[in-house]
Amino acid sequence: MNKERLKKSQPVVYRVLSNALTKNRLAHAYLFVGDKGSNKEETALLFAQSMVCENTDKDGFACQTCERCLRMENRESLDFIWISKETQMDLIQKRQKKDAFKELANKKVKVEKKAEKLPTQIKKEAITSLQESFSKTGQEQSDKRIYVIEQYDLISTSASNSLLKFIEEPQEGIYGILTTEEKSNVLPTIQSRCQIIGFKPESYEERMEELLEITNEENAEMLIQNGYTLKNAQEWIENEEFGIIKNAAREYINSCNDHASILKMQQLFAGKSIYLNKEYVKVLLEWLLYFVRNKKTELKMSQQVQIQTILVESMDVLRSPVDLGLFLDKIYNQLWKVVKS
């Protein structure tokens, strides 16, 4: 998170955090509440870095370039644990592996590796692993150990209860930052033990300005119109497939009355292609919709309206499990009918 940007876009948050840092009045737990695009995760990292950086600025914020800061950014610090729906499995598996080795040594049982699906909730095991690794003494130079729990509203009830105990009896030097979109989804008992920091939604202009620093106008517009957070937008921009899908979408929408262009799309999104997955297909639809909606096609007005309807409805369908190949063929067919009418 760029400090100047935080100061400009979230002046209240900046001031409150700066006060806590410079006056050394840190709460043991913080709850960051704000919309998807409000950069609360980026701010959580900056705030955590600021607690241990030795090179802070006059407002108490981290330099973001020293070794300690970088180790935290790269999640290499043992005293900094980041739990999200996605990263919790590493933490849990590390612990399970340790247990499995113990068992192996004692009972000589065979260790089988189970393929686990990505959980939809933050599990209790993740919280237990966190508590265990933090119960050991500090591993690094800093006397602070910090955890971040992203999307706290996705936590399971049992996980929330075990975290509650952790927060209720705060240990010296342990600090937590929880982030959520909806405060009402967080247990009142957790809320009452956290300092609540409210983020205001960023305006369209502010988000545009941020993205234009790393990409062109079309990419920025498309990603913002589709509600991507700065972090997710960045990931797409760095992914070279993003540009390939964009170009394919542009070419196709300008010639969707031509069989050759449908064939080209079918080849790109063929059975074994890496593109035939839900994320890429979703981005394809978003690009198609972007080009039609922003009048970047030579289609007639009436056709544009019909195609927008088809695409928006298809995006809804994509939320349920579908056969992606058939799903795309149906869209090519529907668009073909519109442009041939």
Q: Which of 63, 89, 154, 187 binds Zn ion (CB under 5 A)?
A: 63
**Of the ranges 51-59, 171-179, 185-193, 299-307, which one interacts with Zn ion (CB under 5 A)?**
51-59
SS (H, E, C) 215-268: CCHHHHHHHHHCCCCHHHHHHHHHCHHHHHHHHHHHHHHHCCCCHHHHHHHHHH
Which residues 6+ apart lie within 8 Å of 151 measured at CB?
A: 84, 85, 122, 179, 180, 181
- What is the nearest approach in angstroms of Zn ion to the Cβ of residue 14? 18
The span from the CA of 69 to the CA of 77, in Å, is 9
Three-class SS of 309-331: HHHHHHHHHCCCCCCHHHHHHHH
Q: Nearest-CA neighbor of 311 among 218, 239, 238, 225?
A: 225
Q: What span, in angstroms and rounded, lies between the C-alpha atoms of 224 and 328?
A: 24
Residue 46 makes contact with Zn ion by CB under 5 A: no
| Minimal distance, residue 54 CB to Zn ion, in Å | 7
- CA-CA distance, 4 to 50, in Å (whole number)? 14
The CB-of-133 to Zn ion minimum distance in angstroms stands at: 23
Q: In the set 62, 127, 130, 289, which binds Zn ion (CB under 5 A)?
A: 62
Residue 68 or residue 193: which is nearer to Zn ion going by CB?
A: 68
CB of residue 178 to Zn ion, shortest distance in Å = 23
| 69 counts as binding Zn ion under rule CB under 5 A | yes
In this complex, which beta carbon is closest to Zn ion, that of residue 53 or of residue 149?
53
Q: Which stretch binds Zn ion (CB under 5 A): 4-12, 16-24, 68-76, 173-181?
A: 68-76
- The window from 54-62, 146-154, 172-180, 298-306 that contacts Zn ion (CB under 5 A) reads 54-62
Q: In this chain, which of 66, 100, 208, 318 binds Zn ion, going by CB under 5 A?
A: 66
Q: Which of 65/185 has CB closer to Zn ion? A: 65
First to last CA, the chain: 50
**251/69 Cα distance (integer angstroms):** 44
Query: From the CB of 49, what's the least distance to Zn ion, in Å?
Result: 6
Residues forming contacts to Zn ion in the complex (CB under 5 A) are 53, 55, 62-63, 66, 69
